[in-house]
Amino acid sequence: MGNLWISNLGELASPLGSGPLGGRRQGEVSRRHGVEVLCRDGRIEAIGSPPEVAAAAAHVGDIERLDAGGGTLVPGFVDPHTHLPWAGDRSAEFAQRLAGRSYLEIAAAGGGILSTVAATRDASESEIRANVTRRLDRMLEWGTTTCEAKSGYGLELEAELKQLRALAAAAADHPVDVVATLLAAHETPAEHRADPERYLDLVCSEIVPAAAAEGLARYCDVFCERGVFSAAQSRRVLEAGLEHGLRPRLHADEFADSHGAELAADLGALTADHLMAVSDRGIEALAASTTIAGLLPGTSFFLKTRLYAPARRLIDAGIPVTLATDCNPGSSHTESLPMIFWLAVLELDMTVEETLTAITLNAACSLELGDEVGTIEAGKQADFVLLEGASLDNLAYHFGVHPITVVVKRGTVAYRKAEAER
Ligand SMILES: [Zn+2]
């Protein structure tokens, strides 16, 4: 139905507008009190005082009522960087890592990303689809209403397409909207280790055209990193994507300055993600471009490097910043944007308002969805998260707990916490 009337709000907190907010503006969040929200046919119809909204509601047919119980309403969260369609389980490897074995030792013994590649190649499309659905369910429960998701564990034509088809099938009957990215250049597969250029030939001449022709991806991504793909190799892949209508977004400067930020800026990429090792020149290049900086602090936390991206310098340079889970089996195994919220506030020194903008409006803009989602304003899609507590500040203050009572997608309640859990 999509007609919904939300009343009894403690606070309504949202960035405003349809474009990315950088610099000081990233922290300019509207925080309103004493307002109600009316949704019609899945879109926001009116926001105002109770009499104003009652007057608007008189023109709408059947309306579902939602008593917010004094909670805080924010835009549905947008997770702009995930790797959802994978198979296999790396929990044993994680236990080894906790016991002190290095990532390189584990990879040399057949673990690491290539173990996920082997499991994903072996899995059926329906098995991967079920995995994606389970992960989307958990994302929704933690407030995500739109996300991006990448391939990148197939590393051969059919297996990459299988991942993307499984993703599309799972997304087709799930409330969370999913935007797909082809990440065939995530790593060089074992069979091409002797000649990585040969694998990039396949990516550019076969995998990119096939994924584009089947309409399976909107974007093309590459892992631009020392020891993976150089800036020159990354450029080749991203230009092949552009030729087939796939705009670039990339993994840049995660462990070493690989000139990924400069490449992203030069190509007009939507985002440059990670940036823990970004150089001053990389920051300057981003500041002079339209590219958004995507921060993934879950990896620094989960890999125990404790090296976080320079969020304050990026924001102070005027660059719009997003935050994402990077949900993947190796370096950030979480579907929870609230977890990333806590890391941003406590480890990246971002304010509560800057962090909210990062996981709503700025994230939506990085997926070219800023006109549709990411803020609570009349005309936009009615995607909301109802948080416990009468203020947005409570989300940062009460960490580690599940903070959400209701998630609304297109004006319909898509998740509601059971009474027993409240
Ligand atoms: Zn990633």
Domain that holds residue 50: 4-75+376-421
Looking at residue 62, its pLDDT comes to: 95
How far apart CA 270 and CA 259 sit, in angstroms, is 16
Identify how many contiguous H helices and E strands the chain contains and give both numbers: 17, 19
From ligand 1's centre to the CA of 325, what distance in Å? 9
Q: Is 338 left (phi over 0), alpha (psi -120 to 50) or beta?
A: alpha
In a shared domain, residues 94 and 71: no
In a shared domain, residues 60 and 93: no
- 136-153 pLDDT tens trace: 999 999 999 999 999 999
From ligand 1's centre to the CA of 328, what distance in Å? 7
How far apart CA 53 and CA 47 sit, in angstroms, is 7
Query: Rounded to the nearest 5 degrees, what angle is found at the Cα of 335, between the Cα atoms of 357 and 388?
Result: 60
Does 371 reside within a domain?
no
Last residue of a domain, one of 366, 392, 411: 366
In a shared domain, residues 406 and 310: no
Looking at residue 70, its pLDDT comes to: 97
Q: What is the mean pLDDT of residues 88-93?
A: 92
**Whether pTM exceeds 0.75:** yes
Cβ-Cβ contacts under 8 Å for 296 (sequence gap 6 or more): 81, 273, 274, 309, 323, 324, 325, 326, 332, 340
From ligand 1's centre to the CA of 61, what distance in Å? 44
From ligand 1's centre to the CA of 82, what distance in Å? 6
Kindly state the greatest CA–CA separation across the chain: 71
3-state secondary structure of 23: helix
In a shared domain, residues 277 and 386: no
Does 410 reside within a domain?
yes
Phi, psi (5° rounding) for residue 77?
A: -75, 145
In a shared domain, residues 240 and 315: yes
Looking at residue 79, its pLDDT comes to: 98
Does 38 reside within a domain?
yes
From ligand 1's centre to the CA of 296, what distance in Å? 8
From ligand 1's centre to the CA of 331, what distance in Å? 9
From ligand 1's centre to the CA of 156, what distance in Å? 18
Percent of the chain with pLDDT over 90: 91
The residue with greater pLDDT, 88 or 1, is 88
Does 191 reside within a domain?
yes
Phi, psi (5° rounding) for residue 313?
A: -65, -40
CATH of the domain at 70: 2.30.40.10
From ligand 1's centre to the CA of 102, what distance in Å? 20
Please report which helix (H) or strand (E) contains residue 314, including its range: helix 311-316
Which is it for strands 177-185 and 144-150: parallel, antiparallel or unpaired? Answer: parallel
Rg of the chain over Cα atoms, rounded to whole angstroms, equals 21
In a shared domain, residues 24 and 69: yes
Q: What is the mean pLDDT of residues 221-229?
A: 93
Which is it for strands 11-14 and 30-32: parallel, antiparallel or unpaired? Answer: antiparallel
How far apart CA 202 and CA 262 sit, in angstroms, is 25
Residue 420 has pLDDT above 70, yes or no: no
From ligand 1's centre to the CA of 19, what distance in Å? 24
From ligand 1's centre to the CA of 254, what distance in Å? 10
Please report which helix (H) or strand (E) contains residue 113, including its range: helix 113-122
From ligand 1's centre to the CA of 251, what distance in Å? 6
How far apart CA 381 and CA 400 sit, in angstroms, is 29
From ligand 1's centre to the CA of 273, what distance in Å? 8
- Domains in the chain, number: 2
How far apart CA 3 and CA 6 sit, in angstroms, is 10
Give the tokens for residue 146: 């739109």
- 158-176 pLDDT tens trace: 999 999 999 999 999 999 9
From ligand 1's centre to the CA of 284, what distance in Å? 23
From ligand 1's centre to the CA of 83, what distance in Å? 6
From ligand 1's centre to the CA of 148, what distance in Å? 11
Give the tokens for residue 73: 């309403």
Sheet holding 64-67, edge to edge: 43-48, 36-40, 4-7, 64-67
From ligand 1's centre to the CA of 223, what distance in Å? 8
From ligand 1's centre to the CA of 6, what distance in Å? 36
Query: Which stretches of 96-249 are assigned E, i.e. beta strand?
Result: 144-150, 177-185, 219-224, 247-248
Give the tokens for residue 262: 């400069």
Residue 339 burial (CB count, 10 A): 18
- 289-347 pLDDT tens trace: 999 999 999 999 999 988 999 999 999 999 999 999 999 999 999 999 999 999 999 99
Closest C-alpha to 246, from 277, 200, 215, 201? 215
Any bridge partners for residue 404, and if so which?
387
How far apart CA 148 and CA 36 sit, in angstroms, is 30
- 21-56 pLDDT tens trace: 999 999 999 999 999 999 999 999 999 999 999 999
How far apart CA 35 and CA 215 sit, in angstroms, is 42
Q: What is the mean pLDDT of residues 355-373?
A: 98
From ligand 1's centre to the CA of 220, what distance in Å? 13
Q: What is the mean pLDDT of residues 388-406?
A: 96
In a shared domain, residues 316 and 389: no
Closest C-alpha to 177, from 368, 386, 399? 368
Q: Do the beta carbons of residue 181 and residue 221 sit within 8 Å?
A: yes
From ligand 1's centre to the CA of 32, what distance in Å? 35
Q: Which amino acid is at 370?
A: G
CATH of the domain at 125: 3.20.20.140
Looking at residue 110, its pLDDT comes to: 78
In a shared domain, residues 90 and 142: yes
In a shared domain, residues 188 and 297: yes
Does 398 reside within a domain?
yes
Average predicted confidence (pLDDT) for the chain: 96
From ligand 1's centre to the CA of 347, what distance in Å? 19
Q: Which amino acid is at 4?
A: L
From ligand 1's centre to the CA of 239, what distance in Å? 20
How far apart CA 78 and CA 351 sit, in angstroms, is 18
Does 290 reside within a domain?
yes
Looking at residue 422, its pLDDT comes to: 65
Closest C-alpha to 298, from 251, 264, 258, 331? 331
Looking at residue 306, its pLDDT comes to: 86
In a shared domain, residues 174 and 273: yes
From ligand 1's centre to the CA of 81, what distance in Å? 6
How far apart CA 166 and CA 175 sit, in angstroms, is 16
In a shared domain, residues 362 and 389: no
From ligand 1's centre to the CA of 185, what distance in Å? 12
In a shared domain, residues 49 and 167: no
From ligand 1's centre to the CA of 352, what distance in Å? 24
